[in-house]
Amino acid sequence: MIEGDAKMNEQNKTTLSNQNTQNKVQVEDKVQGDIATFAGGCFWCMEAAFQDIPGVLDAVSGYSGGEKENPSYSEVSAGKTKHYEAVQIKFDPQKITYNELLDIFWKSIDPTDSEGQFADRGNQYKTAIMYHNDAQRIFAESSKKQLEESGQFDKPIATKILPYKNFFEAEEYHQDYFLKRTASYQAYKYGSGRVTKLKELWADYKEETEEELKNRLSTLQFKVTQQGATEPAFNNEYWDNKAEGIYVDVVTGEPLFSSTDKYDSGTGWPSFTKPINEEAIVEVPDNSFFVKRTEVKSSQGNSHLGHVFDDGPGETGERFCMNSASLKFIPKEEMKKQGYEEYLYLFE
């Protein structure tokens, strides 16, 4: 009886210990279950993906998973540390679940890319889910398995699932970059191939809803870029602008035209002899109003820009007659600051 009692006491101790461990994990899950950390390539884009989501309280760009304390952007981007570019999210689990955050994460990346994301190559741009507790690990592993078994991809899922190690906030100018420097952010996002690839990978991917676009653009900008309207001649922002700089798509920030090719056509709209490069625009036949014309759209954003005519002064004889409402002007002295440094050669 004494030996049996001893065994029973030992079993009770083991059971109690397991229960305590389980309770501890549950408590930790509750404490840490309001933070998520994801690496998905460029943190500007990942931060933007989680903004304005009901239940998301904050999204911060930073560096995670490496050895160095408080690394700088130059160190991480040069591959000198083992950190990932990452985003850390504070969320209200009563309003949004970790699984829902995982869904947003997957649809913001190419999970089959094992060498980086889109145009960005290197370990710092690879994808990973950094779990903060056992519950997050289980959810992450389950969601990855579902993706692997979905048959949606013809390559393995490359995203790693790793225990959370650390997170260091990136420099202030990286925070809310998509809001601070919208034009250069949009130019990067489209120029890096991110948007194009995500549209290919995810059938339900939407860059922006119509309502979001309406809120971001003025009424005239929306009508012109999205509905093909034409603004009044001689009563628009850039028809007589003579400053040096480039003109970008007001929707995406994609570089379109340069002041070096702008001239006074006498029509009352900004006119150019050519785009910065042929890939920046798409020409589409337009037979509206019973007149044969050629519509010009931006290649990345599909924004209506204006029309091209064959009465221009340049070598090709083309006149690109654009709407100011489709464009945003970046002055030459602001180009480097706003991320368009590579186009300064136009003014040399």
Q: Are residues 108 and 179 in the same domain?
A: yes
Burial class from Cβ neighbours inside 10 Å (0-12, 13-18, 19+) for residue 133 reads buried
Q: By the 8 A CB rule, do 191 and 298 touch?
A: no
CATH number of the domain that residue 130 is part of: 3.30.1060.10
* Residue 262, beta-bridge partner list: 272
Q: Is the domain of 182 the same as that of 230?
A: no
Q: Would you call 282 helix, strand, or coil by DSSP?
A: strand
Q: How many angstroms separate the CA atoms of 278 and 107, rounded?
A: 31
Last residue of a domain, one of 201, 225, 256: 201
- The answer to whether 321 is a known catalytic residue is yes
Domain residue limits at 306: 210-347
**pLDDT number for residue 23:** 43
Are residues 37 and 22 both part of a single domain? no
SS3 category, 39: strand
Q: Are residues 234 and 187 in the same domain?
A: no
Tell me the C-alpha distance between 160 and 156, whole Å: 11
Instruction: Give the per-residue pLDDT at 174.
Output: 95
Domain shared by 59 and 87, yes or no: yes
Radius of gyration, CA atoms only, the chain? 26
Residues 191 and 80 in one domain: yes
Residue ending a domain, choose from 178, 201, 224? 201
Could you count the other beta carbons within 10 Å of the beta carbon of residue 15? 10
pLDDT digits (tens, 9 = 90+) for 211-260: 888 888 999 999 999 999 999 999 999 999 999 999 999 998 889 999 99
| Helix axes of 182-191 and 194-201: crossing angle, nearest 10 degrees | 60
Which parts of the chain sit beneath pLDDT 70? 1-33, 289-290
Per-residue pLDDT at 1: 39
Instruction: Identify whether residues 70 and 215 lie together within a single domain.
Output: no
Using CB atoms within 10 Å of the CB of residue 124, give its burial: 0 to 12 exposed, 13 to 18 middle, 19+ buried. Answer: buried
DSSP strands (E only) in the chain = 35-40, 56-64, 84-91, 116-117, 120-121, 127-131, 160-163, 167-169, 245-249, 255-258, 262-263, 271-272, 281-286, 293-298, 304-309, 319-322, 327-331
Question: Is residue 45 domain-shared with residue 178, that is, in the same domain?
Answer: yes
Instruction: Give yes or no: 45 in active site.
Output: no
Whole-structure pTM value: 0.69
Domain check: are 283 and 181 in the same one?
A: no
Q: Give the separation between CA 220 and CA 324, rounded to whole angstroms.
A: 10
211: enclosing H helix or E strand = helix 210-216
Q: Which of 35, 36, 39, 42 is catalytic?
A: 42
Q: What's the CATH number where 214 sits?
A: 2.170.150.20
**For the chain, what is the total number of helices (H) and then of strands (E)?**
10, 17
- What is the total count of domains within the chain? 3
Same domain, residue pair 141 and 4? no
Same domain, 176 and 242: no
Our CA angle for 216, 219, 220, nearest 5°, is 115
Domain boundary among 201, 221, 246: 201
Q: State the pLDDT at residue 33.
A: 66
The tokens for 179 are 């809001």
In this structure, the answer to whether residues 107 and 154 fall within a common structural domain is yes
Q: Please state, in angstroms and rounded to a whole number, the distance separating the CA atoms of residues 94 and 133.
A: 18
Closest CA to 159 of 142, 144, 137: 144
Indicate which residue of 198, 276, 321, 322 is catalytic: 321
Tens digit of each residue's pLDDT (9 = 90 or more) over 251-285: 988 899 999 999 999 999 999 999 999 988 999 99
